[in-house]
Amino acid sequence: MKQKETLLNTMEINVVRASIEELGEDHVGTSLETPLREDAFEMDDDLKIELIEKHFREIMHIMGLDLSDDSLKGTPHRVAKMYVKEVFSGLNPKNKPAAKLFENKYKYNEMLVEKDITFHSHCEHHFVPIYGKAHVAYISNGNVIGLSKINRIVQYFAKRPQVQERLTMQIGNELKEALGTEDVAVILDAYHMCVSSRGVNDTNSSTVTAFYSGKFERDEQSRNEFMKYIQLEK
């Protein structure tokens, strides 16, 4: 992501926050929970791969592709395996990273920021990639988690069909729970392939969403400090 696109001021962020709130109940796909059926995991992964493979082969066949071609014949299986084991593996709660807390022995109770976490997700309306950077901050209540755990939490929720607003909130809420603190902030700055490679074909615009809780919600100074850190030169 180019540096200038992450140079956000608080005003822009507030605009984005307001627009998320305005989406309200009318906007399809903005519920906090990923809409999953009760029986979502009654089938095991192997059966899911087998069935998706069958249906994907059918889609390719309907489009007129010759599935006996050497280059194409493995595609239905590859796609099915990629869906279940990789890009949508975050649907299954058994893949959720366990977050182990450590006591913060050096009593660091300032803001901790992890910025430029690369993530890849998929738009649930078109099933094409959403990709970008996540910036996360929290203020420790005496406990910390390993930094790689923050990356894993971001990746886990990204590996679902998503809308960016929900992804932002799911990461924020999970961090609150894992860290046992309300003082959490998350900013996602992402490109949507459904905007850049089709539709309006806009290759430059990125979408910014923010989640502020606790001190970050109450206190403009904390938000500004977070902004200052994520604007630092790389």
Can you give the binding site for Zn ion, defined by CB under 5 A?
123, 125-126, 194
Does residue 120 have an active-site annotation? no
Least Å distance, CB 71 to Zn ion, is 28
**Active-site annotation holder among 50, 114, 124, 225:** 124
Task: Detail the DSSP E strand segments found in 126-183.
Answer: 129-139, 143-145, 161-162
Does residue 124 have an active-site annotation? yes
Which CB sits closer to Zn ion, 140 or 209?
209
Distance of CA 7 to the CA centre of its chain: 20
Which CB sits closer to Zn ion, 100 or 125?
125
Least Å distance, CB 167 to Zn ion, is 13
Task: Detail the DSSP E strand segments found in the chain.
Answer: 101-103, 111-123, 129-139, 143-145, 161-162, 184-192, 207-212
15 neighbors 208 (Cβ within 8 angstroms) = no
How many angstroms separate the most distant Cα atoms in the chain? 64
Which CB sits closer to Zn ion, 41 or 131?
131
**Active-site annotation holder among 122, 135, 155, 164:** 164
Does residue 123 have an active-site annotation? yes
**Active-site annotation holder among 194, 217, 225, 231:** 194
